[in-house]
Chain A
Amino acid sequence: MSAITDYGLETPSRAFLVLALCLDDRKGRKPADILHIQKIIRYFEYLRQKREIDYSNFKLGQVSYELEESLRTLQESGLVTNVGTNFQLTDDGRMAAEELKPVTSADDLRKLAFAKQQLNDLSRDELLFFMYKLIPESQINSTEAPRLMNRSRELVEALYRKEVISAAMAAKWLEMPESDFLTSLSKKR
């Protein structure tokens, strides 16, 4: 018996969902809501520069129906359950994750862990803004991007203080010199 074959975890979308839910975020939490899961796996694919999951540009940026469908399948199979708006692994899900880890490359695991640590404790607006800036084409069809771009300054500062972006990246996103950005932050210290 292998959970990988029994539950079709050879499929990247299912495997990444199980793995993403077994990893800790920066606060040591494993559960995540659907928007964070979508963006964590998209960011992971951005980091590895390899697309295995189908994403389209929708109202909330790039989201994947394939992931949503896989998440439903995992719930029906009893590997994932939801508590409120958050999804988490069941005992069977955790066992499946342990099976998946050794057959996943160390580099992929590192990138997925990094993606979760980067994104899972961001607010919804911080998360969407970060992804819109990271992948500008994801702003196409977005109903949120214009509102968030109007709050660029505040959101960039929040992302910098949460150590999600560097000062160089922050300055670039705000189109200002890096030293001016750092000086402006020190005034708010």
Chain B
Amino acid sequence: MNYVFDTSATAVLLETCGLGQALQAFGQTADLIAPNRVKAEYMNGARPGRDLETFERVFKTVDVAVASELLPYFNFDSECGEINVISYALRNSESCCVIDEGFGRRICALFGLQLTGSIGIIKELCRHRLISEEERRSIRRRLRQSSFYISKELLHEV
């Protein structure tokens, strides 16, 4: 199994939840992949918490050719992270998309792709005992206070 990450999930896991180390350990059992476009988006903007060093330690970056059948769904914007994530998963059937946004998740479902989100990854880290119950509670608090938009439904899942 490999996981291919979208930008907002990456930012939530690395910055909001501070899970760089746990993800690095998780990377011993599963490939954690980020399209180069996601890396570029992650580095974009003025967030003080961005950490390229950790990003590069955790994720294997890949070049992705955008799948043309996806373009109309994304208003012909091939530059967004999600279309790159989904394109990669369309060509690699063992991949699971890690996308938090509802729209991207709907496209994954439409194409029958495996899907999880940052909350699903946090649960996986718990299952592999890479984070403790106490850390999980602290993550929940941090997610609630986060300046990043996370839907109420997702927050309830942690």
User: Could you tell me which A residues sit within 8 Å of B by CB distance?
Assistant: 46-49, 110, 114, 117, 134, 160, 162-169, 172, 177-180, 182-183, 185-187, 189
* A167-B8 in contact (CB<8A): yes
Q: Which residue of A lies closest to B110 (CB)?
A: A114
A83 to B144, CA, bound (A): 44
* B82-A186 in contact (CB<8A): no
* A172-B72 in contact (CB<8A): no
Q: Which residue of A lies closest to B79 (CB)?
A: A168
Q: Which residue of A lies closest to B80 (CB)?
A: A168
Complex interface bits, B64-82 against A, C-beta within 8 A gives 1, otherwise 0: 0000000011110101111
- From B44, B79, B110, A110 is in contact (CB under 8 Å) with B110
* B41-A183 in contact (CB<8A): no
Smallest beta-carbon distance B157→chain A, Å: 15
Contacts A183-B148, A186-B147 given; 20 further ones with Cβ under 8 A? A46-B72, A48-B72, A49-B72, A110-B110, A160-B103, A163-B105, A163-B106, A164-B103, A165-B103, A167-B149, A168-B80, A169-B80, A178-B45, A179-B11, A179-B45, A182-B8, A183-B147, A186-B149, A189-B150, A189-B152
What is the interface residue range for chain B against chain A? 20 to 34
Give the chain A neighbours of B106 by CB distance below 8 A.
Answer: 117, 163
Q: Which residue of A lies closest to B151 (CB)?
A: A161
Smallest beta-carbon distance B52→chain A, Å: 15
- From A48, A49, A134, A186, B148 is in contact (CB under 8 Å) with A186
* B44-A163 in contact (CB<8A): no
Smallest beta-carbon distance B88→chain A, Å: 17
Segment 91-108 of B: residues with Cβ below 8 Å from A: 101-106
Asked if A166 meets B45 with Cβ closer than 8 Å, knowing A47-B73, A183-B148, the reply is no
* B41-A178 in contact (CB<8A): yes
Asked if A163 meets B102 with Cβ closer than 8 Å, knowing A177-B45, A183-B147, the reply is yes
Smallest beta-carbon distance B105→chain A, Å: 8
* B75-A183 in contact (CB<8A): no
User: Could you tell me which B residues sit within 8 Å of A by CB distance?
Assistant: 8, 11, 41, 44-47, 72-75, 77, 79-82, 101-106, 110, 146-150, 152
Q: Which residue of A lies closest to B144 (CB)?
A: A189
Smallest beta-carbon distance A94→chain B, Å: 24
Give the chain A neighbours of B152 by CB distance below 8 A.
Answer: 189
Could you show 22 A-B contacts with beta carbons less than 8 Å apart? A48-B72, A110-B110, A114-B110, A160-B103, A162-B102, A163-B102, A163-B105, A164-B103, A165-B103, A167-B8, A167-B101, A168-B80, A168-B82, A178-B45, A179-B46, A180-B45, A182-B8, A182-B148, A183-B147, A186-B149, A189-B149, A189-B150
Smallest beta-carbon distance A62→chain B, Å: 16
A166 to B73, CA, bound (A): 10
Give the chain A neighbours of B46 by CB distance below 8 A.
Answer: 179
Ordered nearest first, which 4 A-B pairs have the shortest CB separation?
A163-B102, A168-B80, A185-B149, A179-B45
